[in-house]
Amino acid sequence: MSKTAFLFPGQGSQAVGMGKALAEAFPAARAVFAEVDDALGQKLSTLMFEGPEDQLTLTANAQPALMAHSLAVIRVLEAEKGLDLSASVAFVAGHSLGEYSALAAAGALSISDTAKLLRIRGDAMQAAVPVGKGAMAALLGAEWDLATEIAEIAATDTGLICDVANDNGGGQVVLSGDKAAVDRACEIAKEKGVKRAIPLPVSAPFHSTLMAPAASAMEAALATATIRAPKVPVVANVTAGPVSDPEAIRRNLVLQVCGSVRWRESMVWLGGQGVTRFVECGSGKVLTGIAKRLVAGSEAINIGTPEDVAEYTA
C-alpha cells in the first residue's frame, strides 16, 4: 500500500506575500498567523504578506515565518479537507528549521512554542559568528563522499572550519564554515572536476561546528520546552531515521544546529518504507523537486495557496 509523507521547507524558501492568499481565504490560516504574532509580540504576518524583503530574509524572521506558513497549510487542510495526520500520513520530515514545523504539525510542539524556539534559534545562529566570517557554498555535481573529502582538504589547508552542512541529493551538497576555508573548498572542487561551486547568499555558516554557541542556546531553550510524542514519526535531520521519543527529539534538535542535514538519506529511507507520495507544506517547491529526483516513481506536490488546497485529496 502506498504511503504519504508530509515535508516542510527550510530557510531560503521564504518570499514576500507568503501565506497572504491563504489568510484571506481561510479563518484557520488567520488563526495560525495571529497565534505566531502573539507568541513573538511582533506582526510577523504583516512582514510575511507585505515585506520588506530584507527584513523577512533575516534569519530570526524567516525561520518562524516559514513555520507559520507551513502550519497554516496544515490547519487549513484539517478544517477544509478533514485531514487527520495520524490516519493519512505515515511520516513527516522537515529541512533544517522545517524539522520544527514537522514536529508542530505532528503535535509534538505547540505552534506558540515553536515560534518562540525558532526566534531563539534564528537569533542564536546569527549571533554565533560575526557577519562576513562564515560562508556556505553549494557543490553541484558532487555526492557526499567527494564533498566530505573536499571539506577535509580545505580545513587542513587553511587550519579553519569546513563542514558538510546539507546533503540534498541529486549531486547537490552544501559546505559551511569559515569563509576562507569555504573559498578554498570551492577551488578544490573545481580541481576535482565538480561541475559548479556556488557561494550561497546566507548570513551565517549554518550547520557547521562554528554554530556551537547557538547549539548551547538551543540546549537551554529546549530543556524547558514541552515536547510530546508526535502523532506520526518524524524523520530527524541528524539521523535520517524516525524518532517519536520526546527526549530523543530534544537531543536531535540540539545536535541539528551544528550537524549535517542528511536530507538525501532521509528521502531514500522514506522511499524504502514505501512512501510514494510527498506533500510539501508551505513556501516554495524545493523539497518537491528533490523528492521526485530521489524516489523513483513518486508523486510530489506542494500546498501553499488556496488553489493548492482546493486540488488536494487525501
Residues annotated catalytic, as ranges: 96, 207
All three cell numbers of 295, joined, read: 524516489
Pairing of strands 172-178, 134-140: antiparallel
CB atoms within 10 A of CB 195: 11
All three cell numbers of 140, joined, read: 553541484
Separation CA 85–CA 5 (nearest Å): 10
Q: In sequence order, what are the residues at sequence separation of 6 or more whose Cβ sits closer than 8 angstroms to the Cβ of residue 282? A: 8, 9, 13, 18, 66, 69, 70, 72, 73, 101, 303, 304
Pairing of strands 172-178, 162-167: antiparallel
Q: In sequence order, what are the residues at sequence separation of 6 or more whose Cβ sits closer than 8 angstroms to the Cβ of residue 110? A: 104, 226
C-beta separation of 166 from 207 below 8 A: yes
Q: How many CA atoms lie within 13 A of 120 on its CB side?
A: 22
CB atoms within 10 A of CB 6: 28
Q: In sequence order, what are the residues at sequence separation of 6 or more whose Cβ sits closer than 8 angstroms to the Cβ of residue 223? A: 250
CA geometry: angle 286, 56, 288, nearest 5 deg: 10
Separation CA 72–CA 28 (nearest Å): 7
* 284 φψ region: left (φ > 0), alpha (ψ -120 to 50), beta (else): left
